[in-house]
Structure 1
């Protein structure tokens, strides 16, 4: 009998970080509770990428919420995918929306949203938010739980 992890290529393996987001492999597993609506949350408080102009590092706190359908994202593959941005030059908006679109395309969730809380670049914080549709009725959607940037005050 096949096990739900049989098709995974990264879980349980020692792997280096992918060199770029396009080559990073996102994997999925069957959702054992596809018959009910619930929210799964991933938080990446130390996300990094590079400014495409200066090459300087950019930092963000990402929050990804989704209501799964038939599939769940395999968390190690998500971690490696997010790590692939460390040497990738892209604007904040591009990184945030790219991540959301890859997850949407892989999982076909009932609902997905992402909040990218970026630390200031040039003195201006840039926060990026996107969601697929309205969330299903009756699902508890928690607050992002991340305050917008307020400097040292």
Structure 2
């Protein structure tokens, strides 16, 4: 069986339109008061619907994201979080940077005692990625 030569040059200039990070709607994040200050609870918010795009190719990246935190005075308002996460949909951003950015922006809004954002990115080309970013107000 001989080697087959395939001309892949037709793919060279293909790029899908992507948005830059200014499309991320950080200002939409809202809080609600945590009514039990001093009484710790752990809140876990999972979603399997997160998507952004590769900044190089514009191809979609899908992730299961879990945001876990111990509130101090505020909780995140869920509708605002949903809109915020959805605003990443067409943004070209590396997986590691998206995970870290989500942590930093949600921390800035709710000021928790502790937070972890874990993203399990779907495999592409046989390689998946798990990215974990963590914040502790004692650091």
Using the size of structure 1 for normalisation, the TM-score is 0.72
Q: 1:49 aligns with which of 44, 47, 52?
A: 52
Larger helix proportion, structure 1 or 2? 2
Provide the residue aligned with 1:3 in structure 2: none
The structure in which a higher percent of residues are strand is 2
**In 2: Cα distance, 1:24 partner to 1:39 partner:** 25
Unmatched runs of 5 consecutive residues or more in structure 1: 1-18, 136-153
C-alpha spacing 1:23/1:78, structure 2 compared with 1 (3 Å): closer
Secondary structure of 2:81's counterpart equals helix
CA–CA distance in 1 between the matches of 2:135 and 2:29? 19
Match of 1:88 in 2: 91
Structure 2: segments with no counterpart, 5+ residues: 1-21
Match of 2:64 among 61, 65, 74: 61
**8 Å Cα contact 1:24-1:84 kept in structure 2:** no
In structure 2, what is the Cα distance between the partners aligned to 1:83 and 1:77? Answer: 10
TM-score w.r.t. length of structure 2: 0.79
Deviations 1:81-126 (A, max 9, x none): 0000111110100111100000111111000001100011332111
2:36 maps to which residue? 33
Q: Does 1:117 align with 2:120?
A: yes
